[in-house]
Structure 1
Amino acid sequence: MKTWKKLVLAVCGFIFAVAAVAIGALILDSIKGGRIFNDFSTIYAAEKYKEPVRIEGVHLIKQEVSCGYAIIEMLAGWMGESVTEESLLNEYGKVVTATGKQFEAEMNKRFPAYKTTMYPYLSNTEMIEKIYGSLKKGIPVPFQWAAKFGDEWTLHYSLITGLDIGNDSITVLNPYGYEEHLDLASFFERTSFRAYSNMPLFLRLAFAFGLFERNTIFMMERIPAF
């Protein structure tokens, strides 16, 4: 009888410890996520953002395998290379871009002329500064956000190709098959995943334990040729 009591107490203790860790992680994620919501209204009057920026020659790809692979295919086409969703699937036999770090690694593998760096948990103004700077250099910006597939919210990669601060508009190529033009408030609601209503607990925990990130972009910088 004592053995069973010890076992029950051990199991209860384990469950309590796991629950405590999960709750703690969720609280920390909430605090961390809250830091990204700084006031971005000052950007509308900033002289450095007066000129609209847009990348031409990037063709929208409707995903057949995964959004990560579709973004890589879009960028490959823009660069004049032949990487496709199908070629990636044939090479790996699976999707290898499910997390931000995996996507970053695959981008660096596919496009060695560029150094791709993931920037997670940027504040709103930091994200706009980096996006604008990249587009002004003529380089599109892959990023993570919440997007609807039919009526269901999903975690999704898309590609930023334009930013017009004066008209409060950002242009996104969405691999679900369409180009989107959003105001910045709506854009931030989705990059922060606040727009993802009723997010399942397992996904909330995935954010809490660092598998997924909020306000995250992937900056591509040309590597100088020597």
Structure 2
Amino acid sequence: MKKVVQCLAAILIVVVVFLAGAFIRLGIRTNNILEDYSSIYVNTKYNRPVYIEGIDVITQKISCGYACIEMFSKWDGGDITEETLFNEYGKVVTSNGPKFAEEMNKRFPGYTTTIHRYLTNTELIEAAYETLSEGIPVPFEWAAKYGDDWTLHYSLLIGMDIQNDNITVANPYGYIEEISVEEFLERTSFEAYDNMPFYFKMAFAIDLFDKNTIFTVRKNN
């Protein structure tokens, strides 16, 4: 019995040390992405507003990941729906960023979707702006409110007007959001998520979820 207790204690110590290290690493990564981004307002590359037309905003019925794929499909002239995806798998397979990117690449072979995680604020703005400039909407992860509750959520970035401090998002909760750059970055970094439950914090710490994460989509040659 003593050996069992000692073994369990050792396992507990290893788990505690691992989690402590994971949270320290998360803090460092978070601090790194939250750099000053004021230079974007004087950078002439952002003088031209970019906006994607033809986005049919839907209200998700199954999952935000599937809903974003449906919106992207409709924009691209396809007929993929949340229902067809769920019926094929019998479950939701886009619960984290790599799986979402994998599904985008499977559903849209004419494009290559690449996940970018823990971008700095300026890197995120630049990558998103360049993709929008090519006429393609940008899927991304952020904190969003469903009623009074914060959630981890996928949406489509469809417009950026940096000079007028305006970001336009097609939110599959069923509406278009127009917000400031500051609010956009507070939510992509999840700094806006008040009172985040511990299990979500732990999920970020062990890399199940990521901050400042977008998906660039490029047409294949």
Shorter-chain TM-score: what band?
A: over 0.9
Based on CA coordinates, which of the two structures has the bigger radius of gyration? 1
Q: CA deviation at 1:87?
A: 0.7
Stretches of structure 2 that go unaligned for 5 or more consecutive residues are none
Matches of residues 66-215 of structure 1 in structure 2 within 5 Å?
A: 66-215=63-212
SS in 2 for 1:35: helix
Deviations 1:32-81 (A, max 9, x none): 11100111101101111001110000110110010000000001000111
**What is the CA-CA distance between 1:201 and the residue it aligns to?**
1.5
Q: What fraction of aligned residue pairs are identical, expressed as a percent?
A: 53
**What amino acid maps onto 2:128 in structure 1?**
I
Q: C-alpha separation between the residues in 2 aligned to 1:13 and 1:200?
A: 27
Equivalent-residue separation in structure 2 for 1:49 and 1:147 (angstroms): 26
Amino acid paired to 2:210 = E
Q: TM-score, normalised by structure 1?
A: 0.96
CA apart distance, 1:9: 2.2
User: Aligned partner of 2:63: which letter?
Assistant: S
Residues of 1 paired with 2:3 and 2:81: CA distance? 57
Aligned-residue RMSD, C-alpha: 0.8
Q: Which amino acid in structure 1 is aligned with residue 79 of structure 2?
A: S
Matching residue's letter, 1:26: F
What residue number does 1:44 align with? Answer: 41
TM-score calculated relative to the size of structure 2: 0.98
The one-letter code of the counterpart of 2:195 is: N
Where does structure 1 lack aligned partners over 5 or more consecutive residues?
Answer: none
Distance between the aligned counterparts of 2:157 and 2:132, measured in 1? 8
Counterparts of 2:45 and 2:115 in 1: how far apart (Å)?
24
For 1:8 and 1:68, the matched residues in 2 are separated by 44
| 2:61 corresponds to which of 64, 84, 96 | 64
SS of aligned partner of 1:147: strand
SS at match of 2:5: helix
Pairs aligned (count): 221
Equivalents in 1 of 2:4, 2:106: separation in Å? 49
Secondary structure, counterpart of 1:57 in structure 2: coil
Ranges of 4+ aligned residues in structure 1 off by more than 6 Å: none
Residue 150 (structure 1) shift: 1.1
Q: Distance in 2 between matches of 1:205 and 1:33?
A: 14
Larger mean Cα displacement after TM superposition, 17-26 or 103-112: 17-26
